[in-house]
Each structure stands twice: as structure tokens, then as C-alpha cells.
Amino acid sequence: MNLKCVVIDDEQHAIEVLTDHIAEMPGLTVFKTFTSPVQALTEISIEDEIDLLFMDIDMPGINGLELAKNIREKAKYLIFTTAHPDYALQAFDVQSDQYLLKPISFAKFALGIDRILKKEANNTKVSTKEADQVAALYIKGDHKYAFSNIAIDEILYIKALQNYIQIITKSETHTTYLTLKEIEKALENHAFIRVNKSNIVAKAAIKKVDGNIIRLVNNEMIQIGEGYKEAFFAYVQSSLLKSNRNQ
């Protein structure tokens, strides 16, 4: 585990205390520090993939609570470091994970951050276990003890056929006695999206979208159903690369 840390505090001494504490904790690395909250606002991006964001509250220009409203989503965990105990309720409102009161001894720091490290380690174990369990699907074959193993990352799309479904992969097609709803439930933690009443598509298999038509990497075309447009284009917008330059 190597969690990236960012520290924001208008006092350099406070930053030095925290960076020293971070250096003493296994699994933590200082990524960036800021004495200016305005600079932090403009420079921190979601692409930085920050794990722990340490932030003072009483700062000039933009206080930590206001800053958190704008950059909270850019860090996995938010830890307020402040000399003022009366901001605790407001810190909860901006989804703070820890509230450390200055002066922050190493013991106080370690106890607070250890809870986050244990949570992170547990989440990693659960994610790995779940990934191992569902990296592939088994479907029944044409007799009692016949089964086919289908790698989930090989699936392009799934098509409903009355009481059956077809699972189309990069190399072959499988037909099995399941409903589309049942296979959708099995794939809910993976990158698939329902695009009409009869089709579920792997997001990675989408080559192009032209109006209501999806072209897949195997050049098959599937139409987006009327009732599925809103969710589908919301997904496209969430993944769309955008420029910050003035148009």
C-alpha cells in the first residue's frame, strides 16, 4: 500500500509537522503541499488520484470548509487539521473522514490515520476477493455435467432470445437458458450497460456512437432504446474528454 497525501495549510510549520508524521507512517507518501488554498484549488485535479487530503480550516482567502466543497471529490479521504474544535459539525457536512485538533502529536496522528489505513486495507482485500470470484462466468451446456467458462473481459454484448440469451464474445457465441435480467444481475459490478430491452453491451466493446446507433469493435451495430437513452448518454458524458480552454 502506498497512499498519496496532499497537505494544505497556510502555516509552513504546520505543513512540516504533518509531512514529518506522514514520513513516519508506513504506506503513506507526500505528493504535494500548499500554503495557498487558492493555489490548491487551481492545481489539484482528479487525475492526481489523491488518497489522503490533509487540510487546515482557518486559512486566508478560502477557508478549508469552502475549499473542501470544491475539491472533496478529488481525494479518497479528507482529514481536517485545525486548532478550532467548533468546526466539527461543519466538517461532517463536507464528508470529512477525520478531524485532528492541533497541536497534532505523532501519537494522535497515528491513531487517527490507522483507522483509515485499516479500512483501506480491508477494502483492497474485499475488492481482490470479489474480482477473483467473478472474473469468469460458468454457464450450463447441453447436458447435466456440461459447463462453459466465459471470461468476462472477453464478452462484447449479450442478446435476449425469448427464454434464452446469447453471450457474444470476441471469439465465439454461447447460448444458455437465462433471462437478460439474471445475467445483468451477475454483471452488475462490471463495466456493462443495458442499451435496449434486448441487449447489454460491454462498455469496452463500444467503438463509436452515432445518434441512436452503437457500433461495436466487431462492427456489429445496436440501436439504443428510447427508454435507455438518458442513462446511456449520461454514461457517455461522464467519460467524455473535455477541454478547459475558452471556446
In a domain, 150, yes or no: yes
| pLDDT of amino acid 246 | 54
Percent helix, strand, coil in the chain (nearest 5)? 40, 30, 30
Its domain, for residue 45, covers 3-131
| pLDDT of amino acid 8 | 98
| pLDDT of amino acid 244 | 64
Residue 122 has pLDDT above 80, yes or no: no
| pLDDT of amino acid 138 | 85
Asked if 74 and 187 sit in the same domain, the reply is no
Residue 238 has pLDDT above 90, yes or no: no
Q: Among 52, 46, 62, 59, which residue's Cα sits nearest to residue 109? A: 52
Confidence label for 189 from pLDDT (cuts 50, 70 and 90): confident
| Beta pairing class for 155-161 and 28-34 | unpaired
Asked if 142 and 127 sit in the same domain, the reply is no
Mark which of 109, 131, 153 sits at the end of a domain.
Answer: 131
| pLDDT of amino acid 147 | 85
Asked if 88 and 195 sit in the same domain, the reply is no
Return the amino acid letter for 132: D
Distance CA 113, CA 120 (A): 11
Residue 1 has pLDDT above 80, yes or no: no
- How does pLDDT run across 59-93, given as a tens digit for each residue? 999 999 999 999 999 999 999 999 999 999 999 99
**Percent of the chain residues past pLDDT 70, beyond the cut:** 92
What the block records as the C-alpha cell of 147 is: 459447463
- Ordered strands of the 221-223 beta sheet: 206-210, 213-216, 221-223
| pLDDT of amino acid 127 | 53
Contact at 8 Å (CB) between 136 and 150? yes
| pLDDT of amino acid 22 | 96
Asked if 213 and 189 sit in the same domain, the reply is yes
Residue 47 has pLDDT above 70, yes or no: yes
Where do the DSSP E strands lie in the chain? 3-8, 28-34, 50-55, 75-82, 98-101, 136-140, 147-151, 155-161, 164-169, 173-176, 192-194, 199-202, 206-210, 213-216, 221-223
Asked if 102 and 165 sit in the same domain, the reply is no
Of the listed ranges 82-86, 94-98, 142-146, the least confidently predicted one is 142-146
Number of domains forming the structure of the chain: 2
Listed in sequence order, the residues at least 6 apart from 115 whose beta carbon sits closer than 8 Å to its beta carbon are: 98
Residue 18 has pLDDT above 90, yes or no: yes
In a domain, 14, yes or no: yes
Residue 134 has pLDDT above 70, yes or no: no
Contact at 8 Å (CB) between 84 and 58? yes
Mark which of 74, 97, 131 sits at the end of a domain.
Answer: 131
In a domain, 246, yes or no: no
Confidence label for 239 from pLDDT (cuts 50, 70 and 90): confident
Asked if 107 and 143 sit in the same domain, the reply is no
Asked if 13 and 97 sit in the same domain, the reply is yes
In a domain, 202, yes or no: yes
In a domain, 24, yes or no: yes
Q: Read off the pLDDT of each residue in 5-33 and give the average, rounded to a whole number.
A: 96
Asked if 113 and 216 sit in the same domain, the reply is no
Residue 230 is part of a domain; what is its CATH number?
Answer: 2.40.50.1020
Q: Read off the pLDDT of each residue in 192-218 and give the average, rounded to a whole number.
A: 96
- Higher pLDDT: 78 or 163? It is 78
Mark which of 92, 110, 131 sits at the end of a domain.
Answer: 131
Asked if 125 and 146 sit in the same domain, the reply is no
Asked if 8 and 124 sit in the same domain, the reply is yes
| pLDDT of amino acid 146 | 79
| pLDDT of amino acid 243 | 67
Asked if 24 and 59 sit in the same domain, the reply is yes
- Higher pLDDT: 73 or 121? It is 73
| pLDDT of amino acid 126 | 57
Asked if 127 and 173 sit in the same domain, the reply is no
Average pLDDT, the chain: 90
